[in-house]
A = this chain, B = another copy of it.
């Protein structure tokens, strides 16, 4: 049965941008599971499946509803054990949680601020009216314009924070080793988020991290490339 993936969009339903949804789209593709996407704007999220979750992704797999990206990945791994593994073992599953928390602590915060106005500009009016106050509260009651205006100033430190990934890439092509695993999708989801919403060049093209992300863009029939980069 085809799995439904509820994904976050702005005014254009063909450009899903939630990093956490991209993780799961990649995970579903990795497992070779057919899925259909259901585009949902910010203000539609609380209504998904009768109020099942405050956040996306949400998946419906037959009679099963799941939320929270990591929990969904574990569900897919356990429910479809004969499909290609997302973790390659219990050690990989446990370490993926570390990669997730690294991404949340190091990769996400700067990007979330830097792209505020890019995201805002892509939303329909009803979602803009939700997004502005909710995000201004999240960023200490500062305006979206002020926070996103700091992105040049913060870029160097953000790129420096990617050093563990960059350094690891001198040993192996993916966090998963020779090939990608869910740990790669965790980080790639954040970079795809930026690729879809912003024309700003977050990665130096000469950075090994950029080369790794290009490899990720090629995965699963170019799943992420099907959404053109923001111009």
Contact surface of A with B, Cβ cutoff 8 Å = 85, 87-102, 104-106, 163-165, 167-168, 171-172, 174-178, 181, 183
Structural contact, B177 and A101, CB atoms closer than 8 A = no
Structural contact, A98 and B97, CB atoms closer than 8 A = no
Could you list 13 examples of A-B contacts with CB < 8 Å?
A: A87-B89, A89-B92, A91-B96, A91-B183, A94-B172, A94-B175, A95-B96, A95-B99, A98-B99, A98-B165, A98-B175, A101-B165, A105-B167
Name the distance in Å between A194's Cβ and chain B's nearest Cβ: 20
Structural contact, B105 and A174, CB atoms closer than 8 A = no
- Please, which residue of chain B has its CB at the minimum distance from the CB of A187? B98
Name the distance in Å between A161's Cβ and chain B's nearest Cβ: 9
B residues within 8 A CB of A174? 94
Structural contact, A175 and B101, CB atoms closer than 8 A = no
How far is it, in angstroms, between the C-alpha of A175 and the C-alpha of B101 when the chains are bound? 11
B residues within 8 A CB of A168? 97-98, 100-101
Known contacts A87-B91, A98-B175; 18 additional CB pairs below 8 A are A85-B91, A88-B94, A89-B90, A89-B91, A89-B92, A91-B91, A91-B93, A91-B183, A93-B177, A94-B174, A94-B181, A95-B176, A95-B183, A98-B165, A98-B183, A101-B171, A104-B167, A106-B164
